[in-house]
Structure 1
């Protein structure tokens, strides 16, 4: 199910329209930066690019500032406009999505930190194939969740939820393989542990992408789908 993108632009007050559009646009701009941070962190790890990794970590503060600005704008709208119905849900959804994006930025910074440590160790460990694959998956999830938010597209949001389930399964499989590898080669423990922490961060990125998709579904349907399984979410959207 999709919603008309003009739903939030039918107010008498053009200023109110502008405020709602501004907070949404700020969220999408923040999302674009966060998506690039995740991409750069993965690239820094795979290519052993410590300079790129440091750049990712340095930009984390900018992401934090963007979240705070969005929160302030949402609070101001709530106080001055006292929005109702879908407008209220839009403001709440933007605030919650900004929080999830900030946490994605934190996870990207963690990946970058581990990339720097692996660069210093100087040897490519096992797990890079899994890292790239899972990294590509969660990066696509972030992009799709933001696109769903921009278009009020619940079908695409549901796709993100389905992808999260697959990422969780791939993450567990990769972790089992890495544990087995460490048992066979104890000398690799330090390096492989870094990769395991990277995979954990990427799995969390997927979780936050799903959260953003859930916020969008709440915005469109007015229904809280948190903690529902993919099948339950799909059934909820058909009702």
Structure 2
């Protein structure tokens, strides 16, 4: 694990403050997005239209935060011309906020499906799966953000591994929902909304993995995108871990 001082000690105190500011703002944005996921799933399961509306309204705030942080990253790059670990920090933040914004979008889509289900009548199946996968991906986002805050590549790697588990859970839930629709065609319209929710949750898991990969790049200086878990293990010099059942 790297020395955090690498990212905070500079001749210019103002530069220190600028870097700390964008780190803090990213974590604030992350906290807001994490709550969006939780609230969207709760709104779906409880049929809570007010909460669903709140999730959708928060999306505007998340979008503004992404733009503001990105602009500050560009200003730092232009004004400070950072190098080495500082450059990786700014680049990583500029990429992580994109994934956070997209998680916010997926949460808003889940909230929209929740509103549609209230109008149509709640779906007969799928809420247990949505709650389970929703909790799983929310925790992935939380752990990825914690890995960023702590500069912990090992924790980030653990998050990346979890995405494969989420993919398996998603495929299993999809098979169950499709089977149910075939058995009861009257449920098709409502269950389709659940299928879209499950798809959004699976995408949240993908974005959490992306954040984890950006953290690994930040800490280790190694780009691990698009190379798979085994490839990441090799890049990090880790011994391969057993596959999840």
TM-score (normalised: structure 1) = 0.98
**Aligned to 2:90, what secondary structure does the other structure show?**
helix
Kept in 1, the 8 Å contact 2:148–2:215? The answer is yes
The answer on 1:120 being equivalent to 2:119 is yes
Question: For structure 1, which segment, 137-146 or 216-225, has the greater mean C-alpha deviation from structure 2 after superposition?
Answer: 216-225
Structure 1: give runs of 5+ residues left out of the alignment. none
The match for 2:186 is 187
Per-residue CA shift, 1:191-218, capped at 9, x if unaligned?
A: 1000000000000000000000001111
Q: Distance in 2 between matches of 1:125 and 1:198?
A: 14
Matches within 5 A, 1:149-164: 149-164=148-163
Per-residue CA shift, 1:83-127, capped at 9, x if unaligned?
A: 001100100000000000000000000000000011112234211
The match for 1:210 is 209
Per-residue CA shift, 1:150-207, capped at 9, x if unaligned?
A: 0000011011011101000110111111111101100000010000000000000000
Q: CA deviation at 1:235?
A: 2.4
The match for 2:242 is none
Structure 2: give runs of 5+ residues left out of the alignment. 239-245
Per-residue CA shift, 1:15-68, capped at 9, x if unaligned?
A: 101100100110000000000000000000011101100110011000000000
Q: CA deviation at 1:237?
A: 1.3
CA 3–179 in structure 1, closer or farther in 2 if over 3 Å, else same: same
The match for 2:143 is 144
RMSD value, Cα: 0.9
The match for 1:83 is 82
Q: CA deviation at 1:81?
A: 0.1
Q: Distance in 1 between matches of 2:230 and 2:4?
A: 26
Q: Distance in 2 between matches of 1:108 and 1:144?
A: 18
Q: CA deviation at 1:133?
A: 0.4
**Aligned to 1:217, what secondary structure does the other structure show?**
helix
The match for 1:219 is 218
The count of aligned residue pairs is: 238
The match for 1:59 is 58
Q: Which runs of 4+ in 1 moved over 4 A?
A: none
The match for 1:170 is 169
The match for 1:233 is 232
**Aligned to 1:6, what secondary structure does the other structure show?**
helix
Q: Distance in 1 between matches of 2:70 and 2:124?
A: 41
Q: Distance in 2 between matches of 1:85 and 1:125?
A: 54
Q: Distance in 2 between matches of 1:105 and 1:210?
A: 15
